[in-house]
């Protein structure tokens, strides 16, 4: 299959995609293609749904884009590493940023958890999903990260798979070199990774105690500086993907 095409417009749809199928466009999609991108009947775009790969499709419609005619497969569907990003919710703009960056970094699921010092108690899951889709559209991503509903920290701990590695970002940890600590786990038998970043007010002592009793725990400090939660997301996901994730795959050769 060809390399990722970043020149062609790219659109996420919910419909199934097969050669010769027709995908209706909703009002927002038609407006985006016709009025924002200035595309019309016969113009080609790339379309994906998170399940069936990426396809070339032609726009159809008499006065405005009305539907897409699916033509040919451009890239086969891929998968994401079993990497869950678990976080205390943030305020709107910073949450938007964090969700987009977690998707770009390869997270397969986003899990808000409510802690004692969480500053935001309500989460707009639809807005989170819209940010997942936007990041996927812009970055050539085929598989969409799942957006889970918020849950109390203690409930999440009680139900998380015990075979997952839990990377607990804790400013009180004594780890001097987080990269080395993660590299030491290369080949770890864990069948998934949960990465947890807490609220900017930190964890309560009883919450930290519960976390430290979890199986498969790696407690990390992210260095000598205090990071805001959205910055910590990018930092720790880069470390995890470099040491244990899909950034360690075989090199591509021309």
3-class secondary structure for 121-154?
Answer: CCCCHHHHHHHHHHHHHHHCCCCCCEECCCEEHH
CA distance 58 to 46: 9
For residues 61 and 69, give the distance between their C-alpha atoms in angstroms, rounded to a whole number: 10
Task: State the pLDDT confidence band at 253, using cuts at 50, 70 and 90.
Answer: very low
Please write the tens of the pLDDT for every residue from 110-142: 999 999 988 887 899 999 999 999 999 999 999
Task: Pick the closest to residue 145 from 191, 113, 98 (CA basis).
Answer: 98
pLDDT score for 6: 76
List residues bridging with 197 in a β-sheet.
87, 169
Compute the average pLDDT of residues 19-23.
Answer: 96
The per-residue pLDDT for 3 is 66
Q: pLDDT band at 250, cuts 50/70/90?
A: low
Q: Tokens 């919710």 identify what position?
A: 89
Average pLDDT over residues 194-205: 91
Backbone angles phi, psi at 218, to 5 degrees: -125, 115
Q: Evaluate if residue 57 carries a pLDDT over 90.
A: yes
Beta strands at 54-60 and 67-75: parallel, antiparallel or unpaired: antiparallel
d(CA 33, CA 31): 6
Rounded to 5 degrees, φ, ψ at 39 are -105, 155
Give residue 92's pLDDT: 84
Structure tokens at 193: 């990774």
Query: Would you call 184 helix, strand, or coil by DSSP?
Result: coil
Listed residue (171, 172, 153, 188) closest to 227, CA to CA: 171
Indicate if the pLDDT at residue 188 is higher than 80. no
- Give SS3 for 186: coil
In contact, 96 and 131? CB cutoff 8 Å: yes
pLDDT for res 1: 39
Q: Which of 121, 109, 113, 120 is nearest to 147 (CA)?
A: 109
Predicted structure pTM score: 0.90
| Domains of the chain, first to last | 10-75 (2.40.240.20), 83-248 (3.40.1280.10)
Check the CA dihedral 10-11-14-17 and report its sign. Answer: negative
Average pLDDT, rounded, for the chain: 91
pLDDT band at 102 (very low <50, low <70, confident <90, very high): very high
Other Cβ atoms within 10 Å of 39 Cβ, number: 16
Bridge partner residues of 8 (DSSP): none
- Output the pLDDT for position 249: 64
Contact, 154 vs 124, CB < 8 A? no
Mean per-residue pLDDT for 200-224?
A: 91
Six-digit token string for 136? 């996927």
């Amino acid at each position: 299959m060809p390399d990722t095409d970043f020149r062609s417009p790219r659109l996420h749809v919910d419909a199934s995609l097969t050669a010769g199928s027709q995908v209706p466009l909703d009002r927002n999609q038609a407006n985006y293609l016709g009025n924002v991108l200035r595309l019309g009947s016969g113009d080609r775009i790339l379309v994906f749904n998170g399940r069936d790969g990426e396809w070339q499709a032609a726009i159809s419609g008499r006065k405005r884009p009305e539907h897409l005619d699916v033509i040919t497969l451009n890239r086969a569907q891929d998968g994401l590493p079993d990497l869950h990003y678990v976080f205390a919710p943030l305020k709107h703009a910073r949450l938007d940023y964090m969700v987009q960056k977690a998707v770009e970094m390869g997270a397969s699921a986003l899990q808000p958890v409510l802690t004692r010092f969480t500053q935001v108690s309500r989460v707009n899951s639809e807005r989170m999903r819209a940010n997942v889709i936007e990041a996927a559209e812009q970055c050539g991503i085929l598989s969409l990260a799942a957006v889970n509903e918020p849950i109390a920290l203690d409930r999440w701990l009680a139900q998380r798979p015990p075979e997952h590695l839990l990377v607990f970002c804790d400013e009180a940890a004594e780890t001097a070199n987080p990269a080395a600590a993660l590299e030491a786990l290369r080949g770890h038998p864990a069948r998934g990774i949960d990465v947890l970043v807490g609220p900017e007010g930190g964890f309560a002592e009883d919450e930290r105690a519960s976390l430290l009793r979890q199986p498969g725990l790696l407690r990390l400090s992210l260095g000598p500086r205090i990071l805001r939660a959205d910055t910590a997301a990018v930092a720790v996901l880069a470390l995890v993907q470099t040491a244990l994730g899909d950034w360690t795959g075989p090199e591509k050769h021309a």
